[in-house]
Structure 1
């Protein structure tokens, strides 16, 4: 994003709202990831991953616009990892890939850094 875009009128308010929502969304994403990890059926695993994916999609679409391109990229990578699993050969098995949990853990840590600013 260029410097002029960061100075648009009202962007500070939008950025503050994004960070405010980010705090709750990162918690929900982490809860869905843990629920998927602990789930015993593919329906529960995939349902929780779908819920996390929807939140990640929202963040990926907004983060760069409000000045957090690296966070947006991290959200997009998590979303892509989930999509690959849900559309892959093992989606019908009751297994939550550790790679998804690892990526989401990194994303949540990145969110914590933004929220702490």
Structure 2
């Protein structure tokens, strides 16, 4: 945990709530990723990736503050891969890059490790 995070009043309550929500959030992200992977058209794929990106963005913005900087970095990496795809040359093709799925799998594993510790 960062020194700043240790000094913030009420952080324990916020951190506990963050971990409580983490299971639901990681499940939603995984479901969106799988729906994108199984999607048959660009709208389904890109909408699910955008929804996963939004949740990842929330986690990336909070994780470091509550003492999980590595999780925040992993969420940022996943978010960046999704953004690169959605803004890239292949966003108009009905594909979900395997690298995004691999990154999200790594993120889910990191979430599970935190949840099991608490």
Q: Normalising TM by the smaller chain, what interval? A: over 0.9
Runs of 4+ in 1 over 2 A off after TM superposition: 1-5
How far apart, in 2, do the equivalents of 1:26 and 1:2 lie? Answer: 23
Q: Structure 2: where are the runs of 5+ without partners?
A: none
CA displacement 1:50-106 (0-9 Å, x = unmatched)? 000000000000000000000000000000000000000000000000000000000
Residue 9 (structure 1) shift: 1.7
Residue 112 (structure 1) shift: 0.3
TM-score relative to the length of structure 1:
0.97
Alpha-carbon spacing, 1:44–1:15, altered in 2? closer, same or farther (3 Å): same
How far apart, in 2, do the equivalents of 1:12 and 1:100 lie? Answer: 32
> Size of the alignment, in residue pairs?
117
TM-score relative to the length of structure 2:
0.96
Q: Structure 1: where are the runs of 5+ without partners?
A: none
